[in-house]
Amino acid sequence: MIAVESHRSGEAMGKILVLYDSRTGNTKRMAELVAEGARSVEGMEVRLRWVAEAGRGDVLWCDGLALGTPTNIGLVSWRIKRFFDEELLELWGKIDGKIGCAFSSEGGWGGGGELACQSALTLLMNYGFLVFGVTDYVGEELTLHYGAVVPGGPESREEREGCRRLGRRLAEWVAAFIDGKRALVERIRKDQEGRFVD
């Protein structure tokens, strides 16, 4: 567990919402791992919500949001799109500055998962979220530039680690930028040194 002192005595440092849709259970398994990664940063409060059971109050509550979707023809699922089109419409222009990232389960490698992540990031950006990718390698030739992407469910050690890493990085950015723990930014950058492949 990464320990970070909070300037809010006795309170959680940040609030993370892991919001997902899942038809077969694969994206749900990814969401659980993303939530696990977010909880590895001490003091984070994490909510895991299926989009059909979520409301605008969950989005108002959070400082950071990890948005997970099954890949649907290279786009987000209809439930995710409807949530942003209808449930969150009244929040447009009112939730600027929250931090967001994306993850997606696809039918197989090359099935459009990165496109689905870009689609999810576009939704978040249109609501004013600050979005990010992760440059870390979690396995040979496996990075999270647009978010965590797996074919089917997260089966391999690297795929599971990718989901956890995404959640942890979201929690670290929330701690750094929302809770003022700037030292975390330097630690993240230092951890990335030497991880690039020539």
* pLDDT given at position 188: 59
CATH number, residue 125: 3.40.50.360
Report whether 68 contacts 34 (CB < 8 A). Answer: yes
Which residues does residue 20 pair with via DSSP β-bridges, in sequence order? 50, 68
Query: Would you say residue 188 lies in a domain?
Result: yes
Smallest CA-to-CA distance from 147 within 172, 125, 122, 118 is with 118
* pLDDT given at position 112: 86
Read off the pTM: 0.86
Query: Would you say residue 81 lies in a domain?
Result: yes
Domain, as residue range, for 51: 14-192
* Paired tokens of 171: 């929690």
Query: Would you say residue 18 lies in a domain?
Result: yes
* Domains of the chain: total: 1
- pLDDT per position in the chain (198 positions), as tens? 554 444 444 455 799 999 999 999 999 999 999 999 999 998 899 999 999 999 999 999 999 999 999 999 999 999 999 999 999 999 988 898 999 999 999 987 878 889 999 999 999 999 999 999 888 777 777 778 899 999 999 999 999 999 999 999 999 999 988 777 666 656 655 665 555 443
Query: Would you say residue 197 lies in a domain?
Result: no
Smallest CA-to-CA distance from 14 within 161, 166, 187, 181 is with 181
* pLDDT given at position 77: 97
* pLDDT given at position 47: 98
Query: Would you say residue 94 lies in a domain?
Result: yes
Mark out the alpha helices in the chain (DSSP H runs): 26-39, 56-61, 78-82, 113-126, 157-173, 183-192
Phi, psi of 141 (to 5 degrees): 60, 30
Q: DSSP assignment, residue 165?
A: H
Which residues does residue 19 pair with via DSSP β-bridges, in sequence order? 49, 67
* pLDDT given at position 137: 75
Query: Would you say residue 5 lies in a domain?
Result: no
* pLDDT given at position 181: 66
